Chains A and B, each alone.
Chain A
Amino acid sequence: MKNSRRSFLKLAGISALGLGTKPVLNAFASGGHSEKHEAEIQKNPDALKAKRWAMVIDTRKFESEEDFEPIIEACNKIHNIPKHTNKRHEIYWIWVDEFKHVFINQEHEFVDDRVKHLPFLVLCNHCEKPACVRACPTKATFKREDGIVLMDFHRCIGCRFCMAACPYGSRSFNFRDPRPFIKEENKEFPTRMKGVVEKCNFCAERLAVGKTPACAEASNGAIVVGDLHDPESEVRELLKNNYTIRRKPDLGAGPAIYYIV
């Protein structure tokens, strides 16, 4: 009897914390039952934090297609991204495409040779006003307070409304069980199951333990992440000193991925 009441209070308290409503928790805590310690949920103290995460890609630092491979490979490996044999089932988190495909409407016939022939990295833009989040009927995709747009694979029903909504083609769907197509499983990160949508997660799992995103780590300084709201941050420094462009700025989605061309 006593135990079940205690469990209930504790669960209610934890759930309230999970929802981020501290007043509710306090109300429960002052509810008169005497425990020495309440169970608590906290952030990892080593976690990297930002008010608004952003990424700057210095495309001048890439010289050939080989330069992109270790970056894409690092992401694919860490996140257990399958290599499907059927083109229709392909899954990308970060990949490359030509300027005219990445920056539609910004290309012209006489664009310089380097830009014309050099591939550009593309990934989820972690938009300020993400259309995918607006579309999702279950909040399975959501924007975190620090600006990262994430997927909750447990909740996704696979309606693919977010894929139709994303103006950048950054989302992929598991048309079948991905496991047989993952060469080497990274035990530190889950795979996905069939029937859910996935995309770049800005390495949320790495930020949480104090590591920078895998692509940035593998890029020899060509990719920098940081806090857009911190004037001292490296991304702000780069944005201040270089002319940068973003994909489809006219849509007003506010991408957080900036490109130095």
Chain B
Amino acid sequence: MNDKNIIITGLIIFFVFLTFPFWYNMGKASPVPEPKLTDKAKAAKECVEPKEYMKAEHMQILDIWRDGVVREANRVYISETGKKFNMSLSTGDDSCMGCHSNKADFCDKCHDYASVTPYCWDCHIEPPKEKK
């Protein structure tokens, strides 16, 4: 076969492209960020669900909440501890962002790390940035 060299060169180029993300980012791995809590959130002690659960599943909760609020007009969430919460991402002091008003440190840090860009803030208005 005369094409042997061409095929092998092609395969090598293909392999290099395939693995590009790995060697391009080699040695650049950053540590897993830890979301920061505001004083208000610290004082509240409990969220709508346990911390570990929220870390892993907050997007599911948000998804269920959004359907519940928009489509069924259900706006009150009673957690397992019996506490009532206003089911809202960004409206009012008792909404998600009312407590976690530090979007940059609470949301963006991990989202950037995981390279996800939720489009929440295309419509929902961000809490004002805290001035330090």
A and B touch in the complex (CB under 8 A): yes
CA distance A135 to B77 in the complex (A): 33
> Which residues of chain A are within 8 angstroms of B73 by Cβ–Cβ distance?
43, 47, 144, 204, 207-208
Segment from A59-67, A95-103, A124-132, A146-154 that makes contact with B:
A146-154
- Count how many chain A residues have C-beta atoms less than 8 Å from C-beta atoms of the other chain: 40
Known pairs A7-B53, A192-B123; A41 contacts B91 (CB<8 A): no
* Range, interface on chain B: 20 to 34
> Which residues of chain B are within 8 angstroms of A181 by Cβ–Cβ distance?
none
Closest partner residue, chain B, to A49 (CB atom): B73
- The answer to whether the Cβ of A88 comes within 8 Å of any Cβ in the partner chain is no
- The answer to whether the Cβ of A90 comes within 8 Å of any Cβ in the partner chain is no
**Binary contact readout B58-102 vs A (1 if CB under 8 angstroms, 0 otherwise):** 001000101110111111111111100001001110000000000
- The answer to whether the Cβ of B124 comes within 8 Å of any Cβ in the partner chain is yes
Q: Are B76 and A42 in contact (CB under 8 A)?
A: yes
Chain B proximity of A158: nearest CB distance (Å): 13
Chain B proximity of A46: nearest CB distance (Å): 10
- The answer to whether the Cβ of A190 comes within 8 Å of any Cβ in the partner chain is yes
> Which residues of chain B are within 8 angstroms of A204 by Cβ–Cβ distance?
73
> Which residues of chain A are within 8 angstroms of B125 by Cβ–Cβ distance?
185, 187, 190-191
Known pairs A11-B64, A190-B125; A39 contacts B80 (CB<8 A): yes
> Which residues of chain B are within 8 angstroms of A20 by Cβ–Cβ distance?
72
Chain B proximity of A227: nearest CB distance (Å): 15
CA distance A192 to B123 in the complex (A): 5
Interfacial residues of chain A within 195-215, with CB under 8 A of chain B in the complex: 204-205, 207-209
- The answer to whether the Cβ of B119 comes within 8 Å of any Cβ in the partner chain is yes
Interfacial residues of chain A within 32-71, with CB under 8 A of chain B in the complex: 35-45, 47
> Which residues of chain A are within 8 angstroms of B81 by Cβ–Cβ distance?
37
Q: Are B70 and A150 in contact (CB under 8 A)?
A: yes
Q: Are B57 and A193 in contact (CB under 8 A)?
A: no
- The answer to whether the Cβ of B122 comes within 8 Å of any Cβ in the partner chain is yes
Known pairs A35-B80, A190-B123; A18 contacts B75 (CB<8 A): no
Q: Are B71 and A152 in contact (CB under 8 A)?
A: yes
- The answer to whether the Cβ of B3 comes within 8 Å of any Cβ in the partner chain is no
Closest partner residue, chain A, to B70 (CB atom): A152
CA distance A207 to B73 in the complex (A): 9
> Which residues of chain B are within 8 angstroms of A153 by Cβ–Cβ distance?
123
CA distance A205 to B119 in the complex (A): 21
Chain A proximity of B127: nearest CB distance (Å): 8
> Which residues of chain A are within 8 angstroms of B60 by Cβ–Cβ distance?
11
- The answer to whether the Cβ of B49 comes within 8 Å of any Cβ in the partner chain is yes
* Pairs across A and B, CB under 8 Å, 7 listed: A7-B57, A18-B68, A41-B87, A42-B77, A150-B70, A187-B125, A205-B91
